[in-house]
Structure 1
Amino acid sequence: MPKTPRRPAPLRGKIFLAREVIAAELLTPTELRSAAWRPLFRGIYADATLPVSHRHRCLAASDHLLPPEGAIAGSSAASLYGVGSLADTDPVEVVAPRAVRFGPVAGLRIHLADVPPDEIRTHGGIRLTTPPRTCWDLAQWLDPVEAVVLLDQMVQRRLVTVPALRAYAENRAGRRGHRRMSRAVDLVDPAAESPQETRLRVRLVLAGLPRPVAQFVVERAGAFVARVDLAWPELRVAVEYDGVWHAAEEQLHRDRRRLNKLLGSDWIVLHVTAKRMREDFDGFVAELRAALRSRS
């Protein structure tokens, strides 16, 4: 019968440096290669019974890999604040000063940039960038649409405010990246209710259309009629994103009945799906532009 791997009690449920446990004679190099342990980064292991998440990998990087001046940053920092959705195996995004010789490290996405000490904090036992600095980095490292998706969520979770982000950008006027940050902040909308809605809104604006109002409530004689995803109220034009949840027959019935009331109020309501956004966004933009022009 195969021999059961030895699992010393001090290492159960832990993340550790291989050289330290070998030096302490808790494990031999051969035992470390057993099924009892899972490599996270080169020279860093975890108890294989530990369900390793992206947060665990951030913790390992923060504790054992980063130089003292470095921090978890970007999308990884946002995920630690509860924003975005990273897979457990996605690279951990970090920032380290340019003057520090650091990397490359398999499993890390390393950015070299100066980060003042007051822009690094400890959150949940992990060293990461502050919310404003995280937003700055997201604006630099992601494409404009995906950056705003995460900035919207940072604002919605009250980790930072739009005025604070605007002030942060203004304090860096003239620096490389200032314009990207300012543009991203201008596109943030705390009223957005989903990442896909943000993607739709931002892509429409970047396509040259007037900025819509998110989650606009339509009333008739002071009574509620409907709430729409995006609207140009002065023109009575609205756009609804039909997500996967609309596949449910009852939900679809409720949505269409609600929007029929809008049509009765002389609104133009256009619908867009994920498939249309992916495969024929230009065609949808042309339809929406024509609808807006018809009401102008």
Structure 2
Amino acid sequence: MPKAPRRPPQLRGRVFRGSIAVSRGLLSRNDLRSSAWRPLFRDIYADAEVRVTHGIRCAAVERWLIPPGAAIAGRSAAALYGCPAPAASEPVDVLVPRATRVGPTAGLRIRRGEFDPGDAVDRAGLRVTSPERTCWDLARWLDVVEAVVVLDGMLARRLTDVPALREYALNRAGRRGWRSLLRAVDLADAGAESPQESRTRVRLVLAGLPRPQTQWVVADKGRFVARLDLAWPEFKVAVEYDGLWHDDPEQFQRDRRRLNRLLGNEWIVLHVTAKRLRDDFDGFLAEVRAALQARSRSIRSR
């Protein structure tokens, strides 16, 4: 019968440095290779029974891997603020002062830049970039659609607001990224309730469609009928993103009954899925554009 791997009680449920555990006689190098422990970074391990999240990886990076003056940044910082996190296996974003020497480390995405006063804050004991600095960095590092996805999340959680982001950008006029941040702010909307809703809205707007209202409430004689992901109420055209929550058959049926009531109220409701956004956005865009044009012609002919 195979020998059970050693699991000292001092290390159960913990993230630790392998070299320290070995120097204290808790484990051997061979023990670290067993199924009881999961490597996170070089010389950093977790109990295999710990559910490793991106946040846990960020905490390990901040504690053991980044030099003084650096901070968790980008998407990793946004995740620590409560925005949707990257997959646990994705690299942790780190911002390092330009003058600080640090070599490449597997599992880290290292960026260099200067810190202005207030650009780094304490978040649950970790040094992270401020909400405004996080948004600025992401506007520089990501394409505009993905940057707006994060900005929507930061605005929805009231971690910052549009005036603060505009002021942050304007105070850095002439520096790389200030125009990118202003552009992302112009496209951002705190009403978005999921990253895919944000992606759908921004791609439609960038394609030349008028900006839709988010979470638009439809009422009939003062009674609630439905709340729509994206809506052009003047045309009675809406877009609904069908996400994974529709794996619940009962919820799916409730949503369909709700939308049937909308159709009875003369709304056009177009549905989009992640697959459609990925594989046939142009076709979906054409459908939305045709619906808006048809309703516009109908209004003009009255």
For 1:265 and 1:89, the matched residues in 2 are separated by 47
Output the TM-score relative to the length of structure 1.
0.88
**Structure 2 equivalent of residue 75 of structure 1:** 75
Asked whether the 8 Å contact 2:78–2:85 carries over to 1, the reply is no
CA drift at 1:117: 5.0
**Structure 1 equivalent of residue 205 of structure 2:** 205
**Structure 1 equivalent of residue 124 of structure 2:** 124
CA drift at 1:36: 4.9
Trace 1:27-106 onto structure 2 (pairs within 5 A). Answer: 29=29, 32-33=32-33, 35-106=35-106
**Structure 2 equivalent of residue 140 of structure 1:** 140
For 1:87 and 1:131, the matched residues in 2 are separated by 21
CA drift at 1:14: 3.9
CA drift at 1:9: 5.5
CA drift at 1:43: 2.7
Instruction: Letter of the 2:294 partner, please give it.
Output: S
The DSSP-based 3-state class of the residue aligned with 2:90 is: coil
CA drift at 1:70: 0.6
Output the TM-score relative to the length of structure 2.
0.86
CA drift at 1:258: 2.6
CA drift at 1:163: 2.1
Question: Which has the larger displacement, 127-136 or 67-76?
Answer: 127-136
Instruction: Letter of the 1:107 partner, please give it.
Output: G
CA drift at 1:188: 1.4
1:267 has 2:271 as partner: no
Asked whether the 8 Å contact 1:214–1:230 carries over to 2, the reply is yes
Trace 1:109-120 onto structure 2 (pairs within 5 A). Answer: 109-116=109-116, 118-120=118-120
Trace 1:144-159 onto structure 2 (pairs within 5 A). Answer: 144-159=144-159
For 1:156 and 1:130, the matched residues in 2 are separated by 16
RMSD after superposition:
2.5
For 1:248 and 1:27, the matched residues in 2 are separated by 46
CA drift at 1:107: 0.9
For 1:185 and 1:167, the matched residues in 2 are separated by 11
Asked whether the 8 Å contact 1:212–1:230 carries over to 2, the reply is yes
For 2:31 and 2:249, the matched residues in 1 are separated by 56
Asked whether the 8 Å contact 1:69–1:117 carries over to 2, the reply is no
For 2:20 and 2:245, the matched residues in 1 are separated by 50
- Among all aligned residue pairs of Structure 1 and Structure 2, give the percentage whose two residues are the same amino acid: 63
The DSSP-based 3-state class of the residue aligned with 2:134 is: helix
User: Where does the alignment leave 5 or more consecutive residues of structure 2 unmatched?
Assistant: 297-302
CA drift at 1:12: 4.6
The DSSP-based 3-state class of the residue aligned with 2:190 is: coil
Question: Which has the larger displacement, 195-204 or 160-169?
Answer: 160-169
For 1:24 and 1:253, the matched residues in 2 are separated by 59
For 2:171 and 2:198, the matched residues in 1 are separated by 26
Asked whether the 8 Å contact 2:40–2:46 carries over to 1, the reply is yes
CA drift at 1:68: 0.5
For 1:184 and 1:37, the matched residues in 2 are separated by 42
CA drift at 1:35: 5.0
How many pairs does the alignment contain? 296
For 2:61 and 2:283, the matched residues in 1 are separated by 45
